[in-house]
Amino acid sequence: MKSKIIRRLRDEREILSGEALSTDLGVSRVSVWKHIRQLQEMGYGIDSAPKGYRLTDTPDVLWPWEFPGREERIHYFPETGSTMTVARKMARNGCPAFTVVIAGQQTGGRGRLQRKWLSDDGGLYFTVVVRPEIPPVLSSRISFVASLSLAGVLRKQFGVNAQVKWPNDILVDEKKLTGMLSEMETDADMVSFVNIGMGINVNNDPTPDESRATSLARLLGRTVPRRAILAAFLDDFEARMAQVDYDTVIGEWKEFTLTLGRRVRIVTTSETYEGRAADVEKDGTLILELGDGTRKSVIFGDCFLQPPGE
């Protein structure tokens, strides 16, 4: 109902009477009034007058009705423990592909290797449920599709030099803008779902806790609409997944990476390696050239870039 009210108010440039809304939506004027009050409490600028209602301002909110055509697949929580946890439960219960779980804030957000992901107000935190009909061996490449998609959206919409760092972080000017986490479950010899979790520093300020991070607001010097970022990413990502070539996606990803050729430190659950990032194979494995000239294949881990020239 709130979705319908907002849509009607946006379509109507002048004041829209409560009677007209009541008739259009098939509910009582009292019901319309209650929904209007709730929308005002959510931050929508809606003028109320004897003649009716007029929408004057829309906050940067992420409620389902702000994503026309996706309302049934968007699930927004002002605060939750982790969008990955909620999405996993939904995926196991059979939610459709491209279901999205969004949080205003996370109390238990996490990154790779169970590191805590700071999820302050103003950032964009979400998990997308993907259901590709592929064998598990190809599943890791979906994260590369997602990071490639988001980097492209950030470049196109905001003109920032978004680059990808293995495995799937996005950096601008060598500072972390986006972190990504994925998890998969299988059904026999096929993927049941892959969940892609993202944390994007948009209007929050991560620098007090992480000096090597940045945000879009800091980069651009202005407040950035989170809704526009998420809507553009979902459209682009879904379109890419509809025609993805798993044999070429890593090659595309390499065109935007700042990892290759750099000295890096790789941290896994049990070991740490240092060397030069020589290549990323088509399955997403990082090829690390060690100091003695030997090469090490790294399937999973966290990557820390050494300063250029080292």
**DSSP sequence for 18-43:** HHHHHHHHTS-HHHHHHHHHHHHHTT
70 labeled binding residue = no
In 131-282, at which residue ranges do the beta strands (DSSP E only) sit? 163-165, 169-172, 175-187, 190-200, 263-267, 272-280
Q: With 50 as the cut, is the pLDDT of residue 113 above it? A: no
Q: With 70 as the cut, is the pLDDT of residue 117 above it? A: no
Question: Among the listed ranges 145-149, 160-164, 290-294, which one has the minimum average pLDDT value?
Answer: 290-294
Domain architecture of the chain: domains with CATH: 2-57 (1.10.10.10), 64-254 (3.30.930.10), 263-305 (2.30.30.100)
- Residue 243 DSSP SS3: coil
165 labeled binding residue = no
111 labeled binding residue = yes
Backbone φ, ψ for residue 99 (5° rounding): -70, 140
Q: How does pLDDT run across 227-238, given as a tens digit for each residue?
A: 999 999 999 999
pLDDT of residue 109: 65
- In the chain, the percentage of residues whose pLDDT exceeds 90 is 68
Q: With 90 as the cut, is the pLDDT of residue 152 above it? A: yes
